[in-house]
Chain A
Amino acid sequence: MSILNVTNLNKRFGGLTAISKLSFELGEGEILGLIGPNGAGKTTVFNCLSGFHTPDTGEMIFSGKSLLGMQPYQVCQAGLARTFQIVKPFLTISVLDNVMVGAMIRETSIKKAREASMEIIQWAGLGPMAHKEAEGLPLPLRKRLEMARALATRPKLLLLDEVMAGLNPTEVSEIIELIREVNQKGVSILLIEHVMQGVMALSERVLVINYGSRIAEGTPVEVVKNEKVIEAYLGKEFLNAQS
């Protein structure tokens, strides 16, 4: 059973084709890696899925329902949460209050929302900072906050946009563990990532896009050997030099 089914997605910004005829599927409980060089259209895919952009044509079915025409908040309420590549914490309120905003979507009682949020905060390792303003958090912790907040909305599918960028290897492996735990709880994950350590460790399947279209798909090991992928990242000349 697939939880997300994208068919023939197209999105243009003026003369620039950001996504062209992109189709992919994501199985329930799966972790799918979405990679591609800078400007390949990965974040645009996320923006279309999460309702921030309207695709020109194509269809996106999320657990049986079309996402077309939905506002971002409706997408989230339907069970599809996202994080932002450039983290967007609510700076002047506490970490707990940040997470509570997400939790209150599902929980009308403030008290219960607070308890649920506290649990997620502890799990994400933000416990000691729970009552500090988000402004004081360094980037690695902001990335965790971004994830904790999205998880508080109890998603069925989580879109993670470069949650490992800018972290050192230890921090990356910690985040990998967290993502794995989330996945084991039954949350499907679509992962945009440049940090290959993360993509390799987590994804069962990887989808590679360039100029908005799919150029390869397969297991991580298959994909990194694919000529088109190497060409997209390193250029034709690299391939010629190798052979």
Chain B
Amino acid sequence: MTRLYILLAVLLTILLLVPLFLETYVLGIFVMIFFYAYLGQSWNILTGYTGHISLGHALYVGVGAYTSTYLAQNYGLSPWIGMLVGGVFAVMIALFLGYLGFRFGLRGVYFVILTIAFAEITRLIVSHVEALGSFSGIFLDFNPSFWNFQFRGNVPYYYIALGFMVFSIIVVRILEISRAGRFMVAIREDEDAAQALGVNAFKYNMIAIALSAFMTSLAGTFYANYIFYLHPDTLFGMALSIELILRPIIGGLGTILGPVLGSFILTPLSEISRAYFTKGGFEGLHLILYGIIAVLVVLFMPKGVIYYVKKWLNPILRLDEKNQGYIEKGKEAEAES
């Protein structure tokens, strides 16, 4: 395990130094890598760890983006604070959705439909509210300053996005080794069995969906101040909901580094192929590429790419080291008795 932390520290240092050497376009790709890794990680808390499939996570991105932007444009509130307000809204919506889903025992497909319905309803509402720009969306003015969450060039965005990603990794790691995280995994594996062992499934489901929604919505504010244009179809639509779950699925569901690895694989591919295909007049072809990759991964690496990377790196990183210690301890105890 120690070696894994060393490797991660080295990678992080490299990522911290990279902006010194790269041009803006490449930095932009990195920003998207971090952005989608963060989104995937946030979604992973609800779906990967707790086992409830959400296909409407774009909802929270949209809520975050629209809330902070609306507050900034109308009340001059800094997006840094608006981001937290958006987070609170997202949590409230998520708790309502979660209450309906978890209290009334909506499972599997029915829960998925519920999440899609919530996202679609919100998309339609926002599309018809004049104050939120209705169908034509909202353009953001460019007033670069730290307080406004707006910057010249990609370097500041790069570091913020990187910070987001690292933050999500830390949150999920803390969750994973905590009591709550272990209960969530138990719920994912078998909710009845978890209940029978004294786990208040409803409570931990609600914690999972609230945390997931809160973190997802923060990314919305980042998106708004990076892209400068909000449109209900892109921010609440199915396309984003699907986009943000592909990376954790390909990287490895319910793992910390899965969504990150997935994003490093998929995002550059998507950005480069999109640029390349569009030049050749094949807009949308990159989506077909996505589909093919997703099918291949599901067929040949159902546990996600990270599982194979771990196996492959195990001799170097000694990921089992800690467990090994316990096994030996167990053996010693047996020998003594």
Q: Give the interface of A toward B (CB within 8 A).
A: 50-52, 71-73, 76-77, 81-82, 84, 88-93, 96-97, 100-102, 104-105, 108, 110, 118, 122, 127-128, 130-131, 149-150, 152-153
Q: Which interface residue of A52, A90, A93, A100 has the most chain B CB atoms within 10 A?
A: A90
A52 and B190 form a contact (CB under 8 A): no
| A84 neighbours in B (Cβ, 8 Å) | 192-193, 196
Q: B190, B193, B200: which contacts A71 (Cβ < 8 A)?
A: B200
| A105 neighbours in B (Cβ, 8 Å) | 197-199
A101 and B200 form a contact (CB under 8 A): no
B189 and A127 form a contact (CB under 8 A): no
Query: Which residues of chain B in 311-336 are interfacial with respect to chain A, using CB atoms and an 8 Å cutoff?
Result: 323, 326-327, 330, 333-334
Known: A90-B190, A110-B177, A150-B197. 18 other contacts (CB 8 A): A52-B195, A72-B195, A73-B201, A76-B196, A76-B198, A82-B196, A89-B190, A89-B193, A93-B185, A102-B197, A102-B198, A104-B179, A105-B199, A118-B330, A122-B333, A128-B330, A130-B326, A130-B327
B190 and A88 form a contact (CB under 8 A): yes
| B190 neighbours in A (Cβ, 8 Å) | 88-90
B186 within 8 A of A: yes
| A81 neighbours in B (Cβ, 8 Å) | 196-198
A101 and B183 form a contact (CB under 8 A): yes
Top 3 A-B pairs ranked by shortest CB distance? Answer: A90-B189, A76-B198, A105-B198
- Give A101's nearest chain B residue, CB to CB: B186
Q: Give the interface of B toward A (CB within 8 A).
A: 177-179, 182-183, 185-186, 189-190, 192-202, 254, 323, 326-327, 330, 333-334
A149 to B179, CA, bound (A): 16
B182 and A100 form a contact (CB under 8 A): yes
Q: Which interface residue of A52, A88, A118, A128 has the most chain B CB atoms within 10 A?
A: A88
| B254 neighbours in A (Cβ, 8 Å) | 92
| B198 neighbours in A (Cβ, 8 Å) | 73, 76-77, 81, 102, 105, 153
- Give B177's nearest chain A residue, CB to CB: A110
- Give A130's nearest chain B residue, CB to CB: B330
* Dominant secondary structure of chain B at its interface with chain A: helix
Number of A-B contacts (CB under 8 A): 92
- Give A87's nearest chain B residue, CB to CB: B193
Q: Which interface residue of B199, B254, B326 has the most chain A CB atoms within 10 A?
A: B199
A24 shortest CB reach to chain B, Å = 21
A206 shortest CB reach to chain B, Å = 25
| A104 neighbours in B (Cβ, 8 Å) | 179, 182-183
B182 and A52 form a contact (CB under 8 A): no
| B199 neighbours in A (Cβ, 8 Å) | 73, 101, 105
Q: Which interface residue of A52, A89, A105, A152 has the most chain B CB atoms within 10 A?
A: A105
| A93 neighbours in B (Cβ, 8 Å) | 185-186, 189
| A131 neighbours in B (Cβ, 8 Å) | 323, 326-327
A52 to B195, CA, bound (A): 9
- Give B190's nearest chain A residue, CB to CB: A88
- Give B254's nearest chain A residue, CB to CB: A92
| B201 neighbours in A (Cβ, 8 Å) | 73
A89 to B179, CA, bound (A): 18
| B178 neighbours in A (Cβ, 8 Å) | 110
